[in-house]
Amino acid sequence: MLMSKLLQNSILPLSIALSAFGCGKSAPSREEDTVTVNNDAATFADRVTDVNQTLEIVPAEEYRANLAAMPDVVSYVLKLVVDIKPPSINTLSVQADSISLNSKGVAVAYNIAGDTQSGAIDVFSIEGSKVTLKSELKYATRDVNGIFWADKYLYAVGADSAGTAHSYLSRIKMNGQYLSDKITETNLLG
């Protein structure tokens, strides 16, 4: 129930915002060398490590009295099945800041904290407890602050520090679970 509310409150507004901007005129603004798409699993296979570890749920002190009255909530067991190292861009590690799930897998958006703007997108397949990194995209001069994975496209929003620094919306063509280099972009004003 809590997860359902969390998804409703975060993914639904993002998808509405992306739909509103996705129909405007598009003009690619990126330099070709600032974005790279990599679908060669051998080059990033070392980023995913199987773990299979049980995690203890310890509620915050202020919630313990309320949760004691709800035994179903505290009886859940969480299991960490994989550890995923974030990608690095120009020797800097990025941090995850958005996810999007669909029937094909999960996409994760990353950026660098602070003034430096660089970001990435990873696409994973999930089969049972097996997680496989299938594809990655890296932006040298862009944060990726939010993503939404529709059926044939992945939409990304963020900030770009190249040229006349601006916000952007990208529509990236998906080939199943793989990102493509077919990217349509719109600068966002405001």
Range of the domain at 148: 2-47+85-188
Read off the pTM. Answer: 0.75
The predicted model gives 157-184 an average pLDDT of 89
The predicted model gives 17-41 an average pLDDT of 55
Task: Residue 23: count other Cβ atoms within 10 Å of its Cβ.
Answer: 8
137 neighbors 120 (Cβ within 8 angstroms)? yes
Mean pLDDT for all residues in the chain: 79
Quick one: tokens of 63?
């919630």
- Residue 162: beta bridge partners? none
The predicted model gives 144-150 an average pLDDT of 95
Tell me, yes or no, whether 33 lies in a domain. Answer: yes
Quick one: tokens of 79?
């299991």
Tell me, yes or no, whether 43 lies in a domain. Answer: yes
Tell me, yes or no, whether 89 lies in a domain. Answer: yes
Tell me, yes or no, whether 123 lies in a domain. Answer: yes
Tell me, yes or no, whether 66 lies in a domain. Answer: no
Please report the pLDDT score of residue 108 as a whole number.
Answer: 97
pLDDT digits (tens, 9 = 90+) for 55-78: 887 767 777 777 666 666 656 678
Please report the pLDDT score of residue 87 as a whole number.
Answer: 93
CA-CA distance, 26 to 156, in Å (whole number)? 14
Total domains in the fold of the chain: 1
169 neighbors 22 (Cβ within 8 angstroms)? yes
Tell me, yes or no, whether 133 lies in a domain. Answer: yes
DSSP-assigned letters across all residues of 141-154: SB---EEEE-SSEE
Cite the DSSP H helix spans in 41-82: 61-68, 71-74
- 99 pLDDT exceeds 50? yes
Which DSSP state fits 110? E
pLDDT band at 18 (very low <50, low <70, confident <90, very high): very low
Tell me, yes or no, whether 67 lies in a domain. Answer: no
